[in-house]
Amino acid sequence: MAKTLFDKVWDSHVVRSVKDGPDVFFIDRHFIHEVTSPVAFLGLESRGNSVVYPERTFATADHNTPTINQHLPVADPLSANQLDALENNAAKYGISHWGLGDKNNGIVHVVGPENGITLPGATIVCGDSHTSTHGAFGAIAFGIGTSEVEMVLSTQCIMQPKPKSMRINVNGKLGLGVTPKDVALYIISQQTTSGATGYFVEYAGDVFEDMTMEGRMTVCNLSIEMGARGGMIAPDAKTFEYLKGRSQTPKGADWDKAMTYWETLYTDEGASFDAEFNYDAADIEPMITYGTNPGMGIGVTKSIPNAEAVEGGVETYKKSLGYMSFSEGDAMIGKEIDFVFLGSCTNGRIEDFRAFCSIVEGRKKADNVTAWLVPGSHKVVDQIKAEGLDKIIDNAGFVLREPGCSACLAMNDDKIPAGKLSVSTSNRNFEGRQGPGSRTLLASPLVAAASAVEGKVTDPRTLLV
């Protein structure tokens, strides 16, 4: 029978199916970080359990780490306590741990792929909803709660009902200044913030085939923002090229054996999906959000829609615009901004810094803008320096910070002050997400760069020609 990519990977990880219940689902790779794992370890210990396969779990500190002066002790005692808990739990159970200052440290969804822990056909979970990122490699990857983190630690399985399947095809060629982030924000704007709830998405078509691995990660990362549990893309020559030789990928005969399996990972001709959508690359322009969920996005040259024109309740919509201090019909172009954030598991990779630099090179940061440029990992930092992008950043009046989740969720000191407007390459524009009272416009690194040099929301295409 013709099977989807998702079916192939899911079905091969089912230990057993519970009658009128979930599947007992085996997890190949498990990432943990300091925020959602400490209580799982407490639970494990209170039950007298241990970590069954410590070699399948990988710890990195990222969510509340500072992005300056990482060589100094962490000043916030609560953050320091969580970081210590992660380190101590990892040491106690023999789990690999990349703490603050480690050369492999960085955001979990950046360091997993760049170290070759993420593999096609694998099942990957983490107590973080953006675990969907790893689907870019043809893995089934999704976020879980802390109870499930404890399940994985103590049994290497979780109990999951199999999601429905959806395929999203985007065909054609992307226009100037249109990036993977724009493709994702466009799809989410069409699906709404909850349109893919209950589904696992496969992305297919020219646009994703043409995309780099970094771009595919950006797209899969944002799957959760339309409610999907995860998103995945069939592995191809680009995937294998990216993975080959990375520190933890299979080597030699093991690589050849893995390749034999990986080459079977595609959706068979004639396989059916529970839902399917088609979009045209030509309809996508650089995107920006205007509201308080990622589904509230429009082309950067467009105006904010009227309440009647959007799906959902009018009161919720008006509450959202009220929080943003925006009005129906407002143009987004030209709105004066206060902050720019380049980084996060969505757009904190080398390609995102290259894109940002392609605009700011030879220009200057606007005086009214505070900019935080936060690479996703130390390896990204090294690459930025190797390519001389740090000079461009410096000459344009920007400062490169140290890796971490930073202002994406503002658990550390990188908080946007109340009322301030930020153009952010991160993944969520929820109320207060970047700090209590902060207002967030989600956009690509190109839109962020153009807005940073102009001091207001700017169409990057005007600076690219």
Q: Does 20 bind other proteins (CB under 8 A)?
A: yes
> What distances in angstroms separate CA 281 from CA 234, 330, 343, 416, 438, one per listed residue?
19, 26, 25, 33, 32
Q: Does 438 bind other proteins (CB under 8 A)?
A: no
Cβ-based nearer residue to other proteins, 2 or 18: 18
From the number of C-beta atoms within 10 Å of its C-beta (0-12, 13-18, 19+), residue 162 rates as middle
Stretch of residues binding other proteins (CB under 8 A), selected from 191-199, 346-354, 389-397, 439-447:
191-199
Contact 206, 313 (CB under 8 A): no
Q: Does 75 bind other proteins (CB under 8 A)?
A: no
Instruction: Kindly state the smallest distance separating residue 453's Cβ from other proteins, in Å.
Output: 30
Instruction: Kindly state the smallest distance separating residue 456's Cβ from other proteins, in Å.
Output: 27
Q: Is the dihedral of CA 442, 429, 134, 402 positive or negative?
A: positive
Q: Does 49 bind other proteins (CB under 8 A)?
A: yes
Cβ-based nearer residue to other proteins, 361 or 431: 431
Q: Does 119 bind other proteins (CB under 8 A)?
A: yes
Distance CA 107, CA 409 (A): 13
Site for other proteins in 335-394 (CB under 8 A): none
Q: How far is Cα of residue 125 from the mean position of the Cα atoms in its chain?
A: 14
Q: Which of 78, 91, 176, 331 binds other proteins (CB under 8 A)?
A: 78
Q: Which of 2, 11, 15, 282 binds other proteins (CB under 8 A)?
A: 15
Q: Does 267 bind other proteins (CB under 8 A)?
A: no
Stretch of residues binding other proteins (CB under 8 A), selected from 122-130, 182-190, 237-245, 457-465:
122-130
Task: Output the CA torsion 422→111→126→435 (10° steps).
Answer: -20
Instruction: Give me 319's structure tokens.
Output: 């509450």
Q: Does 399 bind other proteins (CB under 8 A)?
A: no
Binding string to other proteins for residues 197 to 216, with x set by CB under 8 A, is what? xx------------------
Binding string to other proteins for residues 129 to 168, with x set by CB under 8 A, is what? x-------------xxxxxx-xx--xxxxxxxx-x-----
Distance CA 424, CA 439 (A): 10
Contact 333, 365 (CB under 8 A): no
Distance CA 55, CA 146 (A): 19
